[in-house]
Amino acid sequence: MKSIQEKRPHNKGSNKFGIKLENFESYEEYSKACSKARDLERKDCPKRIRQKRYSAVKRWYGITPEEYEKYEAINTCYLCGEHMDITKERKVLHHNHKTNKVYGMVHDSCNLIEGIAKGNPDKLRKISDKIKKDNSN
């Protein structure tokens, strides 16, 4: 079996975080270590991160940093109406993928459910009714 170094010859030496691929058993472990290092680096520079986010939301949704700050301060999910605790779950901007119109902040999971159900909301209701029925038995 090929070693990870042989499989990824371009990953030679250490990367910008001083992490060497050859020191890891798998590429996944190496990748995790790199993500951790990247997160730590970002924490050291929150202003830069914020600026990046601002320009991204401006580009994606056409909203100003002030508007984004207002959305970010919202702690009630636009979709389910429940409280959002960011220590438990990420909150995300819910928007129309065609028009890019922003609706509000939502739980990451609610956004995922909405994304899946969008094409067929009646099916989501049927599934929800079935879950309720099964839980009551």
Residues that bind Zn ion (CB under 5 A): 77, 79-80, 107, 110
- In angstroms, the CA 61 to CA 127 distance is 32
Minimum distance of Zn ion from residue 131's CB (angstroms): 16
Residue spans of beta strands (DSSP E) within the chain: 91-95, 102-107
44-58 exposure pattern, b = at least 16 Cβ within 10 A, e = fewer: eeeeeeeeeebeebe
Least distance (Å) between residue 20 CB and Zn ion: 42
Which is closer to Zn ion, CB of 77 or CB of 93?
77
Q: Provide, rounded to whole angstroms, the least separation between the CB of residue 55 and Zn ion.
A: 27
| Tokens matching residue 111 | 């956004």
The residue at minimum Cβ distance from Zn ion is 77
| The dihedral sign for the CA sequence 64, 69, 74, 75 | positive
Q: Which is nearer to Zn ion, 34 or 80 (CB)?
A: 80
Minimum CB separation from Zn ion for residue 95, in Å?
A: 15
| For Zn ion, the closer CB: 13 or 81 | 81
Identity of the residue, 19 or 79, whose beta carbon is nearer to Zn ion in the bound complex? 79
Q: Find tokens 């990824």 and name the residue.
A: 8
